[in-house]
Amino acid sequence: MGAWGLLTGPSADPVRSAVVAGCALGGGVGALLLAPPNWTSWQLLPAVLLAVDLVGGLAAGALPPSRRTTASERTAPARLLVVGAHVLHPALAVLLFGARWEWGLLLFLAMACTVLVLPRVPADLVAVVGLVATTVALTVSVAFFGGPPAGLAWLAPAYLVKLVVSAILGQTATSRTWTAAEPDSKPVSSARASS
């Protein structure tokens, strides 16, 4: 399986691949349109690449094949690797765009804690915990740390939604697979017990 297959899942069809590619392209175009006129090419290029990664990754993470792959194959070390790789996004916002370091740190820690805690949350509370954590992190980042720098208003929502919502969908796909199998086994057990 190539890099594109890893992104979109092993059974992604051309339509799903086109959706991911379209979202990634749209993210890059959006970053270009929102970029302040005083940005240098050293700021513009990373902003476009970040937007392509975040928006395309958000779409890929929400696709059913990707959810199944994520749910079945993501072990604790793999989750740590994904979390560690995404320290780059807030770090670039701080280093290249003048975001406050507190803002970048809050963004990363909120994402990391939520993504690493979600596998330990009961299945029926995964969405609640993930969405509340995302909402709190976005509110605190704006209320106390001044929010993102000019041109990067999209970064925090796309970053948290991509990673947290993908983790929620992966967890709910796992729980649905488990609970979908469970009812089939209970009637057999009860039927045996009654005979």
User: Do residues 53 and 88 lie in contact, with contact meaning Cβ atoms separated by under 8 Å?
Assistant: no
Amino acid type, 115: V
Which residues span the domain enclosing 32?
10-176
Whether residue 3 is contained in a domain is answered as no
Tens of pLDDT, residues 124-182: 898 899 999 999 999 998 888 888 889 999 999 999 999 888 778 766 655 554 444 44
User: Do residues 31 and 158 lie in contact, with contact meaning Cβ atoms separated by under 8 Å?
Assistant: no
Whether residue 37 is contained in a domain is answered as yes
User: Which H/E stretch holds residue 143?
Assistant: helix 126-145
Q: Answer with the residue of higher pLDDT: 190 or 162.
A: 162
Tens of pLDDT, residues 65-102: 555 455 445 677 877 888 889 999 999 999 999 999 99
DSSP classification of residue 154? T
Whether residue 186 is contained in a domain is answered as no
Q: Rounded to 5 degrees, what are φ and ψ at 148?
A: -75, 160
Whether residue 190 is contained in a domain is answered as no
Q: How far apart are CA 73 and CA 94, in angstroms?
A: 32
The number of CA neighbours under 13 Å toward the Cβ of 139 is 6
pTM: 0.78
Whether residue 113 is contained in a domain is answered as yes
Whether residue 193 is contained in a domain is answered as no
Q: Which two tokens stand for residue 1?
A: 């399986």
Q: Look at the chain and report how many structural domains it folds into.
A: 1
